[in-house]
Amino acid sequence: MGIIEKMRLDGKKGFVTGAARGIGKCTATAFAQAGADVAIVDMDYETAVVTAKQIAEETGRKVIALKCDVTDEAQVKEMVEEVVKQLGGLDFCHANAGIAINAPAEEMTYAQWKKIIDVNLNSVFLTDTYAGRYMLANGGGSIINTASMSGHIVNVPQPQCGYNASKAGVMQLTKSLAVEWAKKGVRVNSISPGYIGTELIMAAEHLKPLIEQWNAMAPMGRLGKPEELMGVVVYLASDAATFTTGSDFIVDGAFTCF
């Protein structure tokens, strides 16, 4: 089998959390374009339905929408079971849901801190372990987590200690699961995007001054595009990556190189 064939996801089934819009929508689209059937998982069910319909029409794949609060263990368990039931299996997943709260550490409330850790880290543990249990019992699979370049550096000028800590935790969780499951057929990797110009970010008026500063600091002088993450996630979900596990892929236009 040639490398192009190995990069195809024909016959594979998977899901993406936080997939109604933004990065998750883009990676779900990439999986479907590569031949997979995909579940769009999000708290915003109405938008998830629209996204699923759009991707299905564009790719001809089976794409479903599921509502799930990924911080709720019972809902995550039920979501994974529903993916398996409706799609007929589970070969890969992308734990992508996350939030950011920018607040100086001395002003950040403990409730804000806990919310960031719950959404950005605890939900990844729940998603990975429930997906992993199915994969371990059914021949293996690939798990992809969204970390961030913020797990490697301290972003400026915005204060975001909770976000940075949560994403560093995602990377270490990824490595830990990869080692535990390395001989059991389940690969676990993470991607660390830099500043990505999603529709939400580009539409936020209060972020425009920050975007100007980020671009001034960036070697490429611009934000990344969600579409520029498509290749790496398809690779990680595919049979071309069978020796790739425990890795973090920084996609940041060289932002973290200095």
Q: Is 6 tagged catalytic? A: no
Give the active site residue among 142, 148, 150, 190: 148
Q: Is 163 tagged catalytic? A: yes
Distance CA 153, CA 7 (A): 31
Residues contacting residue 238 through CB under 8 Å, at least 6 positions apart: 6, 7, 8, 9, 34, 142
CA atoms within 13 A on the CB side of 25: 18
Give the active site residue among 166, 167, 195, 238: 167
Give the active site residue among 12, 142, 150, 163: 163
Closest C-alpha among 2, 1, 6 to residue 35: 6
Q: Which tokens belong to 158?
A: 């915005």
What is the number of residues in the chain? 258
Q: Please give the radius of gyration of the chain, using alpha carbons only, rounded to the nearest integer.
A: 17
Q: Is 148 tagged catalytic? A: yes
**Residues that are catalytic:** 148, 163, 167
